[in-house]
Each structure stands twice: as structure tokens, then as C-alpha cells.
Amino acid sequence: MNADWEQRIVDAYASIDSYEEQEFRAVIDKLVAELPDGSPVGIFERGGALDSTGHSDLAVPLYKEALEREVPGIRRRRAVIQMASSLRNLGRSDESVELLTAELDAGHDELDDAVRAFLALALTDVGREREAVSLALGALAPHLPRYQRSLGNYARLLLVEEGGS
């Protein structure tokens, strides 16, 4: 992989709406074919292409394999987020919650709020709405031009009130 290859992957996803499903997957497959056989990056990108074209059921095993093969860099975290989202879409929200809860403590980067957002969705699906709202508000608060402190406090209070404290 090099910067040119990375840019072509980015460009392909940026233009996904200009392709039919199979055509888009073929574009990704062609790019992946440039990688060594069994590349965890290639496996991840194939999973993403399936996921992005409505085939979560086929994407999950690829994400799992990419993670098992130690997909490097930011793609590791993206694989966790995308697999958790796909699991949720497949009605396996408990698994999604488990993956994303573990991911909250797995490191910090520009995807922290994405982890929280997808975890909030999964929490809602398993009946933990107050926790979901708290998580979403806590993720949103730092991005506001004002009211960060107040919103952060309200987010924490949702959990305190839930626990009866």
C-alpha cells in the first residue's frame, strides 16, 4: 500500500453513489487485488464494500477475519466500529454493545466519537436508552461553541439518576 493506493480507496468510497452495488464492489476488488493475498487491509476493504452496499451479513465475517489477522492502524478501529454496526443491523445488538464498550478503552483517536455514537445506537436497541443519551450528549458536548460544561454535567446526571443515586 502506498499513498496513491490509499487515495484511490478514499476516492472510490467518495464516489460510491455513482456506482451500482456490484460495480462498486468490483472497483474495490480491483484495488484489493493489488495487495498481497490474504492482506488484512484487503479483507477489511472487501468487508466495507459489502457493508456499504447493504450486505452486513457478508461483511461481519470479513471484519472478524481482518481483526484476527491484525489489520493495522486506524483500520483496526474502523473494523471494530463497522463490525459492531453490522451486528446491530443483523439484530445482534448485545454483541455490538460488548465490542464497542471494550473499544471505548482501547485507545483514543479521531474515531472516539464514532465509537460512542454507534454504541449509543446499540444501547438503545438493548433498552439502555438513558445510557445511550448520556453517551451521545457526552460525545457532543466538546464540539459545541458554548454549554460544554452544562451538557457534560447533564450527561453524567442521566446515569446517576438511572442508578438511583
Model pLDDT for residues 61-95, shown as the tens digit of each residue: 999 999 999 999 999 999 999 999 999 999 999 99
What's CA 57's distance to the chain center, in Å?
Answer: 15
pLDDT at 162 over 70: no
DSSP letter string, 112-163: HHHHHHHHHHHHHHTT-HHHHHHHHHHHHGGGSSS-HHHHHHHHHHHHHHHH
Q: Within 10 Å of residue 105's Cβ, how many Cβ atoms?
A: 7
Q: Which of 38, 30, 80 is nearest to 59 (CA)?
A: 80
Mean pLDDT calculated for residue range 113-130: 96
- Tell me the whole-structure pTM to 2 decimals: 0.91
What is the structure's pLDDT at 106? 87
Question: Within 13 A of 101's CA, how many CA atoms are on the CB side?
Answer: 10
The C-alpha cell 446517576 sits at: 160
